[in-house]
Structure 1
Amino acid sequence: MRTKVLLVPGWRDSGPDHWQSRWQARFRAFRRLELAPVDWAEPKREVWVAALAAKIAELGAPVVLVAHSLGCIAVQHLPPAALAPVVGALFVAPADPANREPLADFAPVPMQRLPFVSKLIASSDDPFCHADRAHAYADAWGSRLTLLDNVGHINAESGHGDWPEGLKHLETLRREIDWKTEPRGGIAPPRTPRTAL
């Protein structure tokens, strides 16, 4: 079964030039987390998590999350039941809410292994998250890390408009998920339980 893609923007939403918005315009099947303008500008963890859980439930399995910045952290705060339909995630430039006062409601960040395959794309000079923090996230969440050299926050402002390299990461992830979730010999592979490190 072909996976469904849910785009999860970060603080202040993703504008029209952001790669998430461009992907949504290009691929009509992609869905997106929607919030009220005030909720994007003044992020509250409870609001974001509830909206994200509802959207995942609405789409149903199998869902692949494509999260940017604070959106990556919102995913980590989802309860295990809300993550049940999720089969994979691409985390891009995750934020460190401890470094930004407007994001403080999302701290501390859960450091638990995720029950699905995931990739984390980060930058060595991201102003929202130091490289060592990105490494810690990847290790804790069980994500494969790709650390790019000096590319900023991987958004429109850092020159990542269409971001074709990101699409390649997403397609590689989806192919891996399709392979892992397709039953072989009538038996599907077991999923790793979500447990604290």
Structure 2
Amino acid sequence: MSSTPQSTVVIVPGLRDHVADHWQTRLAERLAEAGRTVRTVPPLEGERLALDAQVANLAATLASLHGPVLLVAHSAGVITTVHWAARRKAQVRGALLATPPDFETPLPHGYPTPAELARHGWTPVPRGRLPFPSIVAASANDPLCTPDRAAALARGWGSHLVELGAVGHLNPASGHGEWLLAEELIGQLESNAVSLPLGATPAGERG
């Protein structure tokens, strides 16, 4: 009897540089220590807001791999992922989409404006059903996306919505480094055990 090969975990960061205490960084280290194959999409060296370049960067990372992959995206990396999925095909077993930003509503001061995001191709954000299982992990007090907007994105993408509670944008600036629930959700995606209804919150680690 042949067993299903283990997926390569591909980390899709947002528009940030490498951050040592970010949960994606810690997750990649923890999975690698456990013997998993992990790849992280590197940040762009040029214009970070260039969506086409972000999508091409993700596509190049995936093209270097063989076999199924499991995507773990955060923030703008979620929007990069759904734009990529609308254009490309790959052996994707599933995607964990953590705290997607609402790029179609004005963001807080200091973030790109709607006009800047539109000019660089980020909007409109694809709303079609993703061609692979996915989980949207949403925060109750994310400054970049309201719970209602996160739920609407999850419905459009055909994702299961997991409510994390008040975790801000799930980043060090919100007081969150380690996020152990990520591994539980990855396990659900990898085992095809994503059976939670929209709006359900699984038991497990939060924050």
Task: Name the TM-score class by shorter chain.
Answer: 0.7 to 0.9
Q: Secondary structure at the match of 2:178?
A: coil
Tell me the TM-score normalised to structure 2 length. 0.78
Q: Secondary structure at the match of 1:10?
A: coil
Q: Secondary structure at the match of 2:191?
A: helix
Deviates more, 1:136-145 or 1:95-104: 95-104
Residues 92 and 121, structure 1, Cα contact 8 Å, conserved in 2:
yes
Deviation at 1:37, TM superposition (A): 4.0
Match of residue 151, structure 1, among 149, 157, 167:
167
Q: Secondary structure at the match of 1:77?
A: helix
User: Which consecutive unaligned segments of at least 5 residues does structure 1 have?
Assistant: 178-197
Residue 174 (structure 1) aligns with: 190
Residue 124 (structure 2) aligns with: 108
Deviation at 1:158, TM superposition (A): 2.1
Structure with the largest fraction of helix: 1
Deviations, residues 97-144 of structure 1 (Å, cap 9, x unaligned): 233452613111000001111111010110111111100110000100
CA RMSD of aligned residues (A): 2.0
Deviations, residues 144-166 of structure 1 (Å, cap 9, x unaligned): 00122211001122232221122
CA distance in 2, matches of 1:131, 1:165: 19
Deviates more, 1:166-175 or 1:129-138: 166-175
Residue 54 (structure 2) aligns with: 48
Identity, % of aligned positions = 41
Residue 101 (structure 2) aligns with: 95
CA distance in 2, matches of 1:79, 1:152: 26
Letter in 1 for 2:145: C
Residue 38 (structure 2) aligns with: 30
CA distance in 2, matches of 1:68, 1:27: 17
Count of aligned pairs? 176
User: Which consecutive unaligned segments of at least 5 residues does structure 2 have?
Assistant: 194-207
Letter in 1 for 2:97: F
Residue 19 (structure 1) aligns with: 23
Deviates more, 1:154-163 or 1:141-150: 154-163
Deviations, residues 47-80 of structure 1 (Å, cap 9, x unaligned): 0011111111211330110000000000111155
Deviates more, 1:52-61 or 1:69-78: 52-61
Residue 128 (structure 1) aligns with: 144
